[in-house]
């Protein structure tokens, strides 16, 4: 039980920071989720330290998935200062993600 609390508090800390965090909710059995891996690596290369990217297994972290209304995987959620700036299910290409993130963090 302590591990779970520790995990969720570190998740809360991660998404509460000044640096935007893109959370990728995924499942091991999900084909499109696997397609997101190289896309997210490319995005991280493109954006560097301006963004943090974390992957969360939606089945192992069902509480978080339910809390953030994850109904399908992959689900991407962009957080800054603990607030959701953007959320979408499905595969999104790196260039499009970069545009969305830049737009959201400058307008948010």
Residues involved in catalysis: 30, 33
- Measured torsion, CA atoms of residues 76, 12, 59, 5, in degrees rounded to the nearest 10: 180
Judge whether 40 and 72 are in contact, CB under 8 Å: no
Alpha helices in the chain (DSSP H): 2-15, 31-47, 62-67, 94-107
Q: How far apart are the C-alpha atoms of 23 and 54, rounded to whole Å? A: 5
Q: How far apart are the C-alpha atoms of 51 and 6, rounded to whole Å? A: 23
């Amino acid at each position: 039980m302590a591990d779970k609390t520790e995990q969720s508090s570190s998740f809360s800390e991660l998404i509460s920071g000044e640096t935007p965090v893109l959370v990728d909710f995924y499942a091991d059995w999900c084909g499109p989720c696997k397609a997101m891996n190289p896309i997210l690596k490319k995005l991280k290369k493109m954006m560097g330290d301006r963004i943090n990217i974390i992957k969360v297994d939606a089945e192992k972290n069902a509480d978080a998935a339910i809390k953030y209304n994850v109904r399908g995987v992959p689900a991407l959620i962009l957080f800054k200062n603990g607030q959701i700036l953007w959320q979408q299910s499905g595969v999104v290409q790196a260039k499009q993600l970069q545009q969305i993130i830049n737009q959201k963090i400058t307008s948010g």
